[in-house]
Amino acid sequence: MREKERAGEKGSVIEFQSKLPQTPVADHVREILRLLGEDTGREGLVRTPERMEKALRYLTSGYSADVQKIVNGALFDVEYDEVVIVRDIEFFSMCEHHMLPFFGKMHVAYLPGKKVIGLSKIPRIVDVFARRLQIQERLTTQVAETLQDLLSPRGVAVVCEARHFCMMMRGVEKQHSGAITSAMLGAFRNNKETRNELLSLIGPRSQTI
């Protein structure tokens, strides 16, 4: 399946092909379990490789998702020039360094130009990029740039607060530290007053993650 993949640089879009692998993931999971010293024949593990493959395919289903199809024409010409905010969008993603979950909330705002987007589409766009192997910084940027491309708004702001299992369960083992990232485009980047006003509305409240 083909999809449009955002490249790191603003404005550039590259096509990339994502093919489902030929070799079943489950076979490799079984091998990993064996290498970890598990008895893959014991009752609790017999179907685990297949379950894990199914879970992994779901958690990475964003690779084959098509933003245009999801938006499905829900762009409307509306005269509205105040900020639109969708706050506290829950997301679950997996860090690309450890393949462990990170999860939290995303707050998305834009200042419409000529178009607005159906509000329910915004969480679905978040899921497209969350259901991939990610780093929080790129996830935040991709959501912002996708809205920029779709709507040509006067500004887009995305603030993301998340907790990372790779920090909580291993490594530094800090259970209560969250990471906050943001992407500001257009008026939210160029106008300090606009940005500050927005941050007071959607600003990070990390104690709520």
User: 77 to 96, contacts with Zn ion by CB under 5 A?
Assistant: 95
Q: How far is the CB of 92 from Zn ion (least distance, A)?
A: 14
DSSP state of 63: G
Instruction: Tell me the Ramachandran region of residue 51: left when phi exceeds 0, alpha when psi lies from -120 to 50, beta otherwise.
Output: alpha
Q: Select from 9, 67, 13 the least CA-distant residue to 185.
A: 9
Query: Which amino acid, 45?
Result: L
28 assigned to active site:
no
Q: Which of 134, 145, 148, 164 is catalytic?
A: 164
Residue 170 interacts with Zn ion (CB under 5 A): yes or no: no
The 20-59 contact track toward Zn ion, x by CB under 5 A, reads ----------------------------------------
How many Å apart are CA 119 and CA 130, to the nearest integer?
18
Q: Which of 9, 22, 97, 173 is catalytic?
A: 97
Determine which residue in the list 166, 179, 180, 199 makes contact with Zn ion, applying CB under 5 A: 166
Interior angle at CA 122, CA 190 and CA 118, nearest 5: 105
Q: How far is the CB of 126 from Zn ion (least distance, A)?
A: 19
How many Å apart are CA 90 and CA 129, to the nearest integer?
13
98 assigned to active site:
yes
Give me the active site residues, please. 95-98, 136, 164, 166
Give contact residues for Zn ion (rule: CB under 5 A).
95, 97-98, 166
